[in-house]
Amino acid sequence: MKDYVKNSVTLHATSDDGIPDINELAKDISAHGLRKIEEAQKILQQKLNDAMEEVRKTSNSIWKMFLLLMVDSLEEAICELGKIKEQVAREFQCQREQQKPPTEPPK
């Protein structure tokens, strides 16, 4: 059931909410790519907040179980996105360092 929820969260996030595919985000090593990751994190965080609020409000135990699985999946997705953001930021910094013109040693 947990895998089903993860897949449905992934499909929902990629098809309806404008969250790019995580693999595509990891490939875009640029300032724009980092902004896209931050935007995706904000969208997922809002979905997490909404799901947690719904868990508090619902009395249907089956629906609550589904929502709790979705909350778990969203937390994992946000964590993975954070790891990708760190990796992209490091690679972007390395890329910028390599593009700097060499400095002449002092004479």
> How confident is the model over 24-58, as pLDDT tens digits?
666 667 778 788 888 888 998 998 999 999 999 98
Residue 107 lies inside a defined structural domain of this protein: no
Distance CA 16, CA 71 (A): 18
| Axis crossing angle, helix 61-99 with helix 2-16, rounded to the nearest 10 | 60
Mean pLDDT of 65-76: 90
Residue 50: both structure tokens together: 């909404």
pLDDT in tens, 72-103: 999 998 898 888 888 888 887 887 788 777 67
Q: Do residues 88 and 29 touch, judged by C-beta distance below 8 A?
A: yes
* Higher local confidence (pLDDT), 35 or 11: 35
Residue 93: both structure tokens together: 């910094």
Residue 59 lies inside a defined structural domain of this protein: yes
Q: Do residues 70 and 5 touch, judged by C-beta distance below 8 A?
A: yes
Lowest mean pLDDT among 5-9, 21-25, 90-94: 5-9
Residue 45: φ, ψ to 5°: -65, -40
* Higher local confidence (pLDDT), 76 or 12: 76
Residue 104 lies inside a defined structural domain of this protein: no
| Domain region containing 17 | 2-99
Residue 106 lies inside a defined structural domain of this protein: no
Domain count across the chain: 1
* Higher local confidence (pLDDT), 87 or 12: 87
- CA 33, 34, 38, 41 torsion: positive or negative? positive
Residue 82 lies inside a defined structural domain of this protein: yes
pTM: predicted TM-score of the whole model, two decimal places: 0.64
Check residue 11 and give its pLDDT.
44
